[in-house]
Every structure is written in structure tokens, then in C-alpha cells.
């Protein structure tokens, strides 16, 4: 490993990170932020790298946001690896890490939530009711605490990125959103902090998600346009990988996220499936060659 550039400064107070960013911008520097829940992997680090390439200062936030987890989900056991995360960020040119406590970000009787936009209503919105309400609320709070020029998000959470883009536009939040490509393991599995939950057998089964997406993409490229048939092929691919429970596997419009009947030009194949007790999501952009 190359020697550390510099261990980022850890800031836990909202006012302190806000002042730091405002001061940097006042002196003419361009500031990028990368909001995360920690347990950093190469997918997160690619966002950090995109920010360090395009901005003078990069701030990474690490906050496991309780309001976006549903009762019974993995909030308590979500991996928290702050020391390892800081060591990884020390290899990159990160100015500061904003790592607030829950009490710092949410007041004791917090009761204000932001109603998510229409693009949040399907898919994750159906299968994790309330999830996007928590995401949108924390994103607005984080964007207030970190008033940067740019925010870097991952395509891995495609619907979340669309939701955040819509919120920023409709609530006039002065920040530019940049969505960066999904980083995958060498066999294609999308990197995710939740992959740490998988045992060896489940890790093999998890490949069913990306294989289903690639099956749909390959069929489209070979001329198949009927979404029902593409869905059937995705479903059988999941089943062939031993995945018996999936929430959805289909093709949607890239902006509205409405399910398509036919693929006319561009589409996004999306999937959410349960592997053991772990729920995984993935997606792939599918373009029709003309």
C-alpha cells in the first residue's frame, strides 16, 4: 500500500462541517461531497475518486441513517467500521469526514419528514415502505450541513439517485448531482456493504442478480423488445441460481422508472432479490442499438 496522503479530519458537528465547506467555497475552492453509510468498499471509493478528480476539496459523510431502515431491517447489525473506513480514505485526497451521531443530526423529538417525489413510489418504494421518506429527509439534512458544489452518488442505487435528483430539482437545492457507474467484483456482483452478510453458497447465488440483468440486456441487443418475455427470462435466471424470493425483476424507463411494455430506446433493467436473509438490489442500463 502506498503511504497515506493524510488521515482526513473527522468532524462530528453539523455547524463545524458547514463552516468548513462555506469557508472553502468562499476562498474559491470547489467542494464535492460523498454521502455514505460507511463500511466503505471500492464502489464508495470510486465516488471519492471522482470527487477528488473534479473538486479541490472532498468531504465524505459516514452516517447510518436510522430513519431509512424499516422495523425488522438491519439497522442494528449494519456494519460499522469507522477505523477501517478512515484508513481507506487516508489513501485518497479527502479533506474531512463528517461522522455525526444520531443525536447530532436528529433532535430528540424529530418529527419533520420530506415527502418523496413520484419516482420514489414504485419498486423500493413498494417493498420498503417509508424507506425513501427517510432517505430524502436525511439527504436534505446532509445537503444543508454540507452545502457543496457537487454530490457524488452511485448508479448501484439507481432509484435512489433518481429520487435525489428530483428532490434537488424540485426543492431548489443548489447542488449538482453526479451519478457514477456501479463498481463490481471481478465476477460481476455489484459491490455492496451488505455482501458481507453472505456465506459462500449465498455469494454464488447472489450472482443470479447480475446474470439476470445481463440476460435481459443480451436479449434486447439480439432484438427482443417485449418486456413480459424479458421478465420471464430474468425470473428463470434468478431461479436457476437458487433464488426463490425476489421483489421485482423488470425493465423501466430511465427517468420516470415506470415499467415498460416494450423497450423502444433506452431502459434500465432493475432487480431486487433475497439471498438467505440478505436483500440485494442491482440494475443495468440497456440501450437499443439503432
Answer for which of 11, 31, 37, 216 binds ligand AMP (CB under 6 A) is 37
Which CB atom, from 79 or from 233, has the smaller least distance to ligand AMP? Answer: 79
**Should residue 207 be labelled a site residue for ligand AMP when binding is judged by CB under 6 A?**
no
Answer for which of 58, 67, 192, 211 binds ligand AMP (CB under 6 A) is 192
Instruction: Determine how β-strand 96-98 pairs with β-strand 57-62.
Output: parallel
Under rule CB under 6 A, how many of the chain's residues touch ligand AMP? 17
Which CB atom, from 176 or from 236, has the smaller least distance to ligand AMP? Answer: 176
Is residue 41 flagged as an active site residue? Answer: no
Sequence-distant (≥ 6) Cβ neighbours of residue 66 within 8 angstroms? 75, 102, 106, 134
Q: Which of residues 98-157 bind ligand AMP (CB under 6 A)?
A: 153-154, 156-157
How near is the Cβ of 47 to ligand AMP at its closest, in Å? 6
Which CB atom, from 136 or from 230, has the smaller least distance to ligand AMP? Answer: 136
**Should residue 166 be labelled a site residue for ligand AMP when binding is judged by CB under 6 A?**
no
Report DSSP state, residue 254. T
**Should residue 50 be labelled a site residue for ligand AMP when binding is judged by CB under 6 A?**
no
Which CB atom, from 234 or from 281, has the smaller least distance to ligand AMP? Answer: 281
How near is the Cβ of 81 to ligand AMP at its closest, in Å? 11
Which CB atom, from 163 or from 191, has the smaller least distance to ligand AMP? Answer: 191
Q: Output the CA torsion sign for 202, 198, 47, 148.
A: positive
How near is the Cβ of 289 to ligand AMP at its closest, in Å? 25
Residue by residue, DSSP assigns 28-53 as T--EEEEEE-S---HHHHHHHHHHHH
Cell of 2: 502506498
The H or E element spanning position 287 is strand 278-287
- The answer to whether the CB of 207 falls within 8 A of the CB of 280 is no
DSSP E strands in 71-211: the ranges are 96-98, 150-154, 176-180
Candidates 44, 235, 241, 253; catalytic one: 44
Listed ranges 105-113, 120-128, 168-176, 185-193: which one lies at the site for ligand AMP (CB under 6 A): 185-193
Which CB atom, from 79 or from 147, has the smaller least distance to ligand AMP? Answer: 79
Answer for which of 193, 195, 215, 237 binds ligand AMP (CB under 6 A) is 193
Phi, psi values for residue 67, rounded to 5°: -75, -10
Q: Helix or strand or coil: residue 62? A: strand
**Should residue 58 be labelled a site residue for ligand AMP when binding is judged by CB under 6 A?**
no
**Should residue 88 be labelled a site residue for ligand AMP when binding is judged by CB under 6 A?**
no
Q: Which residues bind ligand AMP (CB under 6 A)?
A: 36-37, 43-44, 46-47, 153-154, 156-157, 180, 182-183, 190-193
Residues classed as catalytic: 44
Amino acid at each position: 500500500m502506498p503511504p497515506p496522503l493524510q488521515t482526513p479530519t473527522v468532524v462530528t458537528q453539523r455547524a463545524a462541517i458547514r463552516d468548513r465547506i462555506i469557508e472553502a467555497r468562499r476562498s474559491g475552492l470547489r467542494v464535492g461531497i460523498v454521502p455514505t453509510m460507511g463500511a466503505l468498499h471500492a464502489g464508495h471509493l470510486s465516488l471519492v475518486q471522482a470527487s477528488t478528480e473534479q473538486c479541490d476539496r472532498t468531504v465524505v459523510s459516514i452516517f447510518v441513517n436510522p430513519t431509512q431502515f424499516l422495523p425488522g431491517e438491519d439497522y442494528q447489525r449494519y456494519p460499522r467500521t469507522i477505523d477501517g473506513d478512515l484508513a481507506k480514505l487516508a489513501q485518497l485526497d479527502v479533506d474531512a469526514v463528517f461522522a455525526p451521531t444520531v443525536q447530532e443530526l436528529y433532535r430528540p423529538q424529530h418529527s419533520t419528514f420530506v415527502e418523496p417525489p413520484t419516482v420514489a413510489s414504485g419498486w423500493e418504494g413498494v417493498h420498503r415502505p417509508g424507506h425513501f421518506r427517510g432517505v430524502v429527509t436525511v439527504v436534505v439534512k446532509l445537503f444543508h450541513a454540507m452545502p457543496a458544489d457537487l454530490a457524488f452518488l452511485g448508479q448501484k442505487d439507481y432509484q435512489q439517485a433518481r429520487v435525489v435528483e428530483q428532490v434537488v430539482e424540485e426543492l431548489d437545492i443548489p447542488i449538482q448531482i453526479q451519478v457514477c457507474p456501479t463498481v463490481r467484483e471481478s465476477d460481476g456482483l455489484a459491490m455492496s456493504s451488505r455482501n458481507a452478510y453472505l456465506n459462500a453458497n449465498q455469494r454464488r447465488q447472489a450472482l443470479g442478480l447480475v446474470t439476470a440483468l445481463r440476460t435481459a440486456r443480451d436479449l434486447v441487443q439480439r432484438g427482443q423488445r417485449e418486456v413480459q418475455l424479458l421478465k420471464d427470462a430474468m425470473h428463470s435466471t434468478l431461479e436457476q441460481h437458487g433464488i426463490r424470493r425476489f421483489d421485482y425483476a423488470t425493465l423501466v424507463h430511465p427517468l420516470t422508472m415506470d415499467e415498460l411494455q416494450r423497450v423502444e430506446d433506452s431502459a434500465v433493467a432493475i432487480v431486487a432479490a433475497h439471498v438467505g436473509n440478505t436483500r440485494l438490489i442491482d440494475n443495468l442500463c440497456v440501450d437499443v442499438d439503432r
